[in-house]
Amino acid sequence: MSPLAKRLAAYLDLTVAERDAIVRLEARERRVGRGEVLAHAGDRADQFYVVRAGWLHSSAARPSGERQIFAFHFPGDLVSLSNAGWVDPAHTLTAVEDCIVSPFPKSQLGALFAQAPRLGGLFYALAAVDYVALCDRLLALGRLDGAGRVASLLLEISSRLRVAQPHFGERFHLPLTQIDIADCVGLTKVHVNRVLRELEERGLIAREGRLVGLSDRDALVEMTGFVDRYAVVATDWLAATAPRPPSLQAAIQ
């Protein structure tokens, strides 16, 4: 089953037409190797993406070279927010590990808004979730020390993985380098290393190669003020699927 349809179905009871519209977004398939850049900030690119397998991240770099990672994209994610507003993408999209993505032209999302407006609203709600999660990270960068920043990133990733895998424990494979973590939470790789070590020594996390375990989730939540933004998404404000009033239907067509 399509990973995007699966995720959306968890939030909303999809009609057949809606399900079809989603599946059409995933018609194509493209493999991307670890480290490969799918789209580069500033380059012309008229595509959105659905992630089918693997992690990607979106980032931007300053002329001087420092990089900031804004978001990680997991299977079932729609990657559109960083280039819906302009002709050229604002962020660079890079594969963290080997991935499969479905690119589709932007206009197809426009058509989906017209043909399945309730899905449009759902995408809006999911954009709001991403926005608020980013605000949480901003709060971490602005007001937490290194340990808190790293801890809140681990909690966030764990929460998002849990959405896709309900039977997910407190231990997971983290394909990020310490450099990636540093570029995401605004520290240097050297300091990230010290912080991870410190968290481990305090018994808050466990590490084994690239496996990470949240040994004391309560303490991590306590030190970061973490809120899970992904567990529940409200869709009650979306209009029912019912046909539109004929008057407006005419006006639109």
219 or 227: whose CB is closer to a second copy?
Answer: 227
Helix (H, G, I), strand (E, B) or coil at 186: coil
Cα–Cα dist 152/137, whole Å: 8
| 178 touches, from DNA, a second copy, none (C-beta below 5 to 8 Å by class) | DNA
Minimum Å gap between C-beta 148 and DNA is: 8
Query: Is the distance from CB of 54 to CB of 92 less than 8 angstroms?
Result: no
Cα–Cα dist 111/109, whole Å: 5
| 12 touches, from DNA, a second copy, none (C-beta below 5 to 8 Å by class) | none
Which residues are near DNA by CB under 7 A? 145-147, 177-179, 186-191, 193-197, 207, 209
Minimum Å gap between C-beta 89 and a second copy is: 10
121 or 186: whose CB is closer to DNA?
Answer: 186
| 197 touches, from a second copy, DNA, none (C-beta below 5 to 8 Å by class) | DNA
Query: Is the distance from CB of 220 to CB of 214 less than 8 angstroms?
Result: yes
| 159 touches, from DNA, a second copy, none (C-beta below 5 to 8 Å by class) | none
Minimum Å gap between C-beta 56 and DNA is: 15
96 or 184: whose CB is closer to a second copy?
Answer: 184
What residues contact 9, with CB distance under 8 A and at least 6 apart? 19
Query: Is the distance from CB of 52 to CB of 71 less than 8 angstroms?
Result: no
- Identify the CA nearest to 179 among candidates 192, 167, 166: 192
Place of tokens 């993985």: 161
84 or 179: whose CB is closer to a second copy?
Answer: 84
24 or 207: whose CB is closer to DNA?
Answer: 207
| 31 touches, from a second copy, DNA, none (C-beta below 5 to 8 Å by class) | none
Place of tokens 């399509």: 2
Residue 226: phi, psi to the nearest 5? -60, 140
Minimum Å gap between C-beta 33 and a second copy is: 25
Minimum Å gap between C-beta 154 and DNA is: 14
Burial (CB count <10 Å: 0-12, 13-18, 19+), residue 251: exposed
| 145 touches, from DNA, a second copy, none (C-beta below 5 to 8 Å by class) | DNA
Cα–Cα dist 146/61, whole Å: 21
Minimum Å gap between C-beta 168 and a second copy is: 21
42 or 169: whose CB is closer to a second copy?
Answer: 42
Query: Is the distance from CB of 25 to CB of 112 less than 8 angstroms?
Result: yes
